[in-house]
Amino acid sequence: MVQTQKEIQPPSADAPPEIGAIAAALRSGDIRTCARLISRVERGEPGLVPLLQALYRVGGRSRIVGVTGSPGVGKSTLVSKLIGFWRKRGLRIAVLAVDPSSPFSGGAVLGDRLRMREHTCDEGVFIRSMASRGQLGGLAKAAGDALTVLDAMRWDVILIETVGVGQNETDIMRHASVVVLLQTPMGGDDVQAAKAGITEIGDIFVVNKSEHPEADRTVSQLEEMITLGLCLHPETTWRPPVVKTRAINGEGVAELADHIDDCFAHLAGQPEAARRQLRERAKHRVGELLHYMLEQRLRSDSGQLLEDSIDAVMKRDSDPYALAAELLARMD
């Protein structure tokens, strides 16, 4: 299914007809083609690889911004206001909202989509929710594929919205050049920000629901963490600002948008550091794809051996280490 590098070309007269047609439709901004392709990506269609390769090779021009934070902090509302702000300036915006994976139901709740309804009739806005289909590693892989599709469309801004803490979410946030980390002033005791574990990936901190009496205290705590160097980004010497917002009525959104611009300007002023970041990101993406391919292969080749041998593991006559080693040996 995966073709070698030489066989793949950016869309051209020689490319398979599907690739050329889809790439052309995407470049003309066709939202239906985009939506349909992301659905195919979500289903994990293996035949899509040549198309995704071609799309990757024409991408790299959109600004990718991540917005993350725990459930209930107001991410979707803030994203909706950011869209409104940027639309007034004529920017075209795509949103990829990645719901936490539910390994048992695979279901996504449509709340986010409902909250963004005001933008659904605007051709300059594309909003898409993704949910895990329960595949280990599948969500991050599919999200990366979806970003490849969006990136090839050259949206001015691609917003990735993910829910808070977790390896999957931080993995997805690695695709973003600038990450906005949202919290509310009601986050419990002082160590919560640090405990959330994703503080280090935030380029801009937002304290939403700024009308709350604890808002200023939360801002101070974050400023203190930054001063202590806990959130500094030494590779780019960027000092994360802390912004108060009240997403529900749009307060602070213009300021946040300015900080996002500043962060991109800062990156542009440090080409070597920016290059290192891109390099790490590309390596991460390769690793993610390799992981996925290995898993697909395992499923097809070793499923029966796993079924046949698992009873011995359960009876403790064997063990998971022995069986994993056997499966690995079988793959060679």
Window 196-235: residues binding a copy of itself (CB under 8 A): 196-201
Interaction between residue 117 and a copy of itself (CB under 8 A): no
Taking the least distance from each CB to a copy of itself, the nearer of 43 and 195 is 195
3-state helix/strand/coil string of the chain:
CCCCHHHCCCCCCCCCHHHHHHHHHHHCCCHHHHHHHHHHHHHCCHHHHHHHHHHHHCCCCCEEEEEEECCCCCHHHHHHHHHHHHHHCCCCEEEEEECCCCCCCCCCCCHHHHHCHHHCCCCCEEEEEECCCCCCCHHHHHHHHHHHHHHHCCCCEEEEEEECCCHHHHHHHCCCCEEEEEECCCCCCCCHHHHCCCHHHCCEEEECCCCCCCHHHHHHHHHHHHHCCCCCECCCCECCCEEECEHHHCECHHHHHHHHHHHHHHHHCCHHHHHHHHHHHHHHHHHHHHHHHHHHHHHHHHHHHHHHHHHHHHCCCCCHHHHHHHHHHHHC
Taking the least distance from each CB to a copy of itself, the nearer of 38 and 196 is 196
Interaction between residue 295 and a copy of itself (CB under 8 A): yes
CA end-to-end span of the chain, whole Å?
19
Q: Among residues 35, 109, 248, 254, which is the contact residue for a copy of itself, using CB under 8 A? A: 109
Taking the least distance from each CB to a copy of itself, the nearer of 273 and 306 is 306
Q: Among residues 82, 92, 158, 164, which is the contact residue for a copy of itself, using CB under 8 A? A: 164
Interaction between residue 49 and a copy of itself (CB under 8 A): yes
Taking the least distance from each CB to a copy of itself, the nearer of 35 and 322 is 322
Interaction between residue 113 and a copy of itself (CB under 8 A): no
Handedness of CA 225, 229, 235, 240 (dihedral sign): positive
- The tokens of 176 are what? 């973003």
Smallest gap from Cβ 321 to a copy of itself, in A, equals 5
Taking the least distance from each CB to a copy of itself, the nearer of 261 and 311 is 311
Taking the least distance from each CB to a copy of itself, the nearer of 164 and 252 is 164
Q: Among residues 15, 37, 52, 146, which is the contact residue for a copy of itself, using CB under 8 A? A: 52
Site string for a copy of itself, 121-150 (x = CB under 8 A): -----------x---x--x----x------
Mark the segment that binds a copy of itself (CB under 8 A) among 26-34, 212-220, 244-252, 311-319: 311-319
Smallest gap from Cβ 199 to a copy of itself, in A, equals 8
Interaction between residue 176 and a copy of itself (CB under 8 A): no
Name the residue with tokens 């993610």. 288
Mark the segment that binds a copy of itself (CB under 8 A) among 28-36, 210-218, 237-245, 289-297: 289-297
Q: Among residues 2, 21, 24, 254, which is the contact residue for a copy of itself, using CB under 8 A? A: 2
Interaction between residue 16 and a copy of itself (CB under 8 A): no
Interaction between residue 172 and a copy of itself (CB under 8 A): no
